[in-house]
Amino acid sequence: MSDKKPKILIVDDEEKNLRLMTAILKNYGYDYETAKNGMEALEKAKTFSPDLIFLDIMMPEMDGYEACKKLKENPETQRIPVVMVTALTERDSRLKGLEAGANDFLAKPVDHAELMVRTKNLLKVKEFEDFLQNYNKILEEDVAKKTEELRIAFKNLDGAYKEIKEGYIDTIQRLTVIAEYKDEETALHIKRVSHYCSLIAQHLGWQENDIETIFYASPMHDIGKVGIPSDILLKPSKLTLEEFALMKTHTIIGGKILHNSISGFLQMAEKIALNHHERWDGSGYPKGLKGDEIPIEGRIMNIVDQYDALRSVRPYKPAFDHEKVVKIITEGDGRTMPEHFDPQMLKAFKQLSDKFNTIFETHMD
């Protein structure tokens, strides 16, 4: 797997043993270093970085068992195969060597053929382990690289999504401004409507994304009024039947303006624009939908729009205070009745009415 010349460290305190083993290994083209005791072996293992170590057991200063144990404890040398070279043949000596971390044993006097077989086999094992180690490192680097590429890609996608989202929000705000030019409604009315709707949605347990969507979609509820003549929109007296019939078409016009958008904001805005004058009892317009036939966004907007309209000055009416508006919505006044509203929305309104008042007073005209 590799073209590099294998390196072998021979550790023995007897010169004749060193000469014998180096002569054999040199004849087979191996690179080698020698050490005469355990302490020297530890140093050479670090500086020479051998692929295999032949380690005598009986040595001064530090014997082979201790040297092997320290080699295996050091992260820099623990993967180097160690062959214990010994004249000791008893079982306890070999067990002690295995406990110290020895990979194999070679008996003294050293046999030429046995030495080469063990050398070749252990070098193959070491080479394969090195290959796996390097391969794992390459895999880790590749995974890290791909992960970083994905992170950057997601970051770019997130940035693109934010730009698209900001673009839709900007479109909504600009279209809302167009509607304001034709109607008596003000920018603060639009802002209040957003807060009322998100307040109810949160109370109903909607997800954060949906709460945000209705916050930005609800100001589009009356966008269809751009198609209604200004003299009807701003007429201070009661509308004739023909004028009111024309006025009611602003829901259909709004739905058409917002139809077929790929934006979640504008899709919800379409439902609100088309259905916010539908009533729970079926007496609303444009389709006379009843109960759950009315999309929930329209049911929320119906009670929200009614509250803010009653609190605000209109060409045909003065502004009413909070207590009076709550009474009209919850008890009815003949024109506005409790049965017009989804009971769930009416219940939520009763529980949140103080917060409705706070929103109105915070964003007063």
The number of CA neighbours under 13 Å toward the Cβ of 72 is 17
What is the rounded distance in angstroms from the CA atom of residue 164 to the CA atom of residue 211? Answer: 18
The domain that contains 124 carries what CATH number? Answer: 3.40.50.2300
What φ, ψ does residue 314 adopt, rounded to 5°? -130, 160
In a domain, 319, yes or no: yes
Same domain, 195 and 69: no
**Tokens standing for 62?**
């530090």
Same domain, 212 and 77: no
Boundary (domain end) residue, out of 122, 138, 154? 138
Same domain, 133 and 280: no
**pLDDT grade for 183, boundaries at 50, 70 and 90:** low
The confidence score (pLDDT) of residue 1 equals 44
**pLDDT grade for 31, boundaries at 50, 70 and 90:** confident
Q: Whose CA is closest to 110, among 118, 102, 98, 121?
A: 118
What is the domain range of residue 44? 7-138
Same domain, 217 and 308: yes
Neighbours of 356 (CB within 10 A): 24
Q: How many domains does the chain have?
A: 2
* pLDDT > 90? residue 227: no
Same domain, 194 and 128: no
Q: Whose CA is closest to 308, among 265, 363, 230?
A: 363
- 234, 315 in Cβ contact below 8 A? yes
- 262, 299 in Cβ contact below 8 A? no
Same domain, 197 and 106: no
Maximum CA pair distance of the chain?
Answer: 123
- Mean pLDDT for 181-198 is 77
DSSP string, 24-59: HHHHTT-EEEEESSHHHHHHHHHHH--SEEEEESS-
Residues 6+ apart with CB under 8 A from 117: none
The mean pLDDT of the chain is: 86
In a domain, 325, yes or no: yes
* pLDDT > 70? residue 56: yes
The 10s digit of each residue's pLDDT in 82-130 is 988 887 766 777 788 888 888 888 888 877 887 888 888 888 877 777 7
Same domain, 313 and 228: yes
What is the rounded distance in angstroms from the CA atom of residue 77 to the CA atom of residue 49? Answer: 8
Task: Confirm whether pTM is higher than 0.85.
Answer: no
Boundary (domain end) residue, out of 138, 163, 194? 138
Q: Whose CA is closest to 337, among 328, 346, 345, 347?
A: 328
Same domain, 224 and 307: yes
Boundary (domain end) residue, out of 138, 167, 191? 138
The confidence score (pLDDT) of residue 164 equals 67
Same domain, 108 and 13: yes
* pLDDT > 60? residue 278: yes
The domain that contains 342 carries what CATH number? Answer: 1.10.3210.10
The 10s digit of each residue's pLDDT in 201-226 is 999 999 999 999 999 899 889 888 88
* pLDDT > 60? residue 199: yes
What is the rounded distance in angstroms from the CA atom of residue 34 to the CA atom of residue 24? Answer: 14
Radius of gyration of the chain (CA): 43
The 10s digit of each residue's pLDDT in 228-238 is 888 888 788 88
- Mean pLDDT for 61-89 is 87
The confidence score (pLDDT) of residue 187 equals 67
Most confidently modeled range among 59-73, 138-152, 260-274, 337-351: 337-351
